[in-house]
Amino acid sequence: MLEIRELTRVYGHFTALDHLSMSIGDGELHGFVGPNGAGKTTTMRILATLLAPTSGTAVIDGVDVTENPRRVRELVGYMPDFFGVYDHLKSWEYLDFYARCYGFGQSERARMTSQLLDLVNLSDKKDAYVDSLSRGMKQRLCLAHALIHDPKLLILDEPASGMDPRARAEMKGILKSLKDMGKTVLISSHILPELSEMCDSLTIIDHGKLVFSGAVDALARHMQGQAAIHLRLLPGEDGDPTPAAAALLKQYPGVTAIERGDDSCTLLVGYEGDEDGMADLLQALLRAGVRVSGFHRPPMNLEKVFMEVTRSDS
Ligand SMILES: Nc1ncnc2c1ncn2[C@@H]1O[C@H](COP(=O)(O)OP(=O)(O)OP(=O)(O)O)[C@@H](O)[C@H]1O
Ligand SMILES: [Mg+2]
């Protein structure tokens, strides 16, 4: 459904998006994660044809966003991070107004408006003025607006920001309905655990660059495969056991870093490998006569993963 290749956007001398490549399959719910200023909105505005890329391509359902923006607009429903709504309209009038802009007839508009309000759980606010709606309700009304022309791809820029836990849960339900309707969804957020719960796949960017793109469980495996092993040793006959162990570990393939832990008998071993490799590593230590009293790799939670993958060097 979406293929982005080497997408780059430069503002003056500043590169906001730096050769980003990613793809999303049909019917996927894809999370787009990154800290403030990572380039999420820039990417989404390019996909919605509101911003031209400096270089690179983005193709939606076979249509290039710069070559055929008019056709892309038919394929895409975009919900921006900040939106203006016409306050003097009632909820149903607001949707009716946009449906009229798309050229739908009166009976069709009445049916659509009622279906869309139902989908975003605003049926009971049908006759409420837009300015009387809460922020979360306005966001849901904007989502309904983005759906009017029945787009294949929905681009939602932080639809759950500022929502309370209940509204967030409701939003998850709405996204599930969209998926069941066969829509493909790209949804951005700063909150990795929240997105990983509801998405099939994720892209993480930082400073305009790709950090990770793939299935949610692949991210967990990818990160877990890089977590440090906590190694605890017993002192040998010649006292401090760590120099000998560190010397042996340094030679071992996959070992990326060795640091001292909280006390003199603990080492934190950066190791890129799976559990088979860990078992071999432990065996090598034991064979060399190192007395190991603790050996484990603590599981990474997703919040930690986010901090880890978006760790800034600048
Ligand atoms: N019109 C512009 N002119 C100059 N710089 C811009 C412009 N729009 C965005 N930027 C810069 O590009 C970078 C990416 O911004 P963008 O809005 O895409 O980030 P974001 O990931 O959506 O962040 P947030 O999580 O805060 O919404 C930021 O450093 C921002 O200051
Ligand atoms: Mg943004």
Q: At what angle do helices 91-101 and 106-119 cross, to 10 degrees?
A: 130
The answer to whether residue 223 sits within a structural domain is no
Query: Structural domain of residue 274, as residue ranges?
Result: 228-298
pLDDT, tens only, 83-136: 666 778 999 999 999 999 888 999 999 999 999 999 999 999 999 999 888 888
Does 18 fall in a domain?
A: yes
**Nearest residue to 146 (alpha-carbon basis) of 64, 44, 62, 232:** 44
Residues 140-175: tens digit of each pLDDT: 999 999 999 999 999 999 988 777 788 888 888 888
pLDDT digits (tens, 9 = 90+) for 172-216: 888 889 999 999 999 998 877 778 778 889 999 999 999 889 988
Query: For residues 178-211, b (16+ Cβ closer than 10 Å) or e, as one string?
Result: bbeeebbbbbbbbbbebbbebbbbbbbbbbbebb
CATH code for position 286: 3.30.70.100
Q: Residue 263 corresponds to which tokens in the numbers above?
A: 């006390």
The whole-number pLDDT of residue 90 equals 92
Contact status, residue 208 vs residue 18, Cβ threshold 8 Å: yes
Is the domain of 43 the same as that of 170? yes
Ligand 1 midpoint to CA 60 (Å): 23
Same domain, 70 and 169: yes
- Nearest listed ligand to the Cα of residue 40: 1
Please indicate, yes or no, if residue 304 is contained in any of the structural domains.
no
pLDDT, tens digit, 9 for 90 and up, residues 239-261: 788 888 899 999 898 898 898 88
Shared-domain flag, residues 10 and 111: yes
Residue 312 lies in a domain: no
For residues 186 and 286, state if they share a domain: no
Q: What CATH number has the domain bearing residue 155?
A: 3.40.50.300
Q: Are residues 135 and 278 in the same domain?
A: no
With 50 as the cut, is the pLDDT of residue 48 above it? yes
Identify whether residues 263 and 288 lie together within a single domain. Answer: yes
pLDDT of residue 260: 87
State whether 241 and 180 are in the same domain.
no
**Residues 10-37 pLDDT 10s:** 999 999 999 999 999 999 999 999 888 9
Q: In total, how many domains does the chain have? A: 2
**DSSP code per residue over 5-50:** EEEEEEETTEEEEEEEEEEE-TT-EEEEE--TTSSHHHHHHHHTTS
Q: Which of 173, 189, 215 is the last residue of a domain?
A: 215
Residue 184 CA to ligand 1 center (angstroms) comes to: 24
Give me the helices (H) in the chain, please. Answer: 40-47, 69-75, 91-101, 106-119, 135-147, 165-180, 192-198, 216-224, 242-250, 275-287, 302-309
Whether residues 233 and 209 share a domain: the answer is: no
Please name the residue whose Cα sits nearest to atom 6 of ligand 1.
Answer: 11
Ligand 1 pocket: which residues have CB below 6 Å?
A: 11, 14, 16, 34, 36-42, 81, 190
User: Based on the domain organization, do 73 and 189 belong to the same domain?
Assistant: yes
Evaluate whether residue 310 is within a structural domain.
no
- Report if residue 171 sits inside a domain: yes
What predicted TM-score, i.e. pTM, was given to this entire model?
0.80
Residues 6 and 47 in one domain: yes
pLDDT-derived band at 301 (thresholds 50, 70, 90) equals low
Query: Can you give the pLDDT at residue 162?
Result: 73
- Domain assignment present for residue 308? The answer is no
- Residue of the CA atom closest to atom 10 of ligand 1: 16
**Residue 286 CB neighbours (<10 A):** 12
pLDDT of residue 314: 39
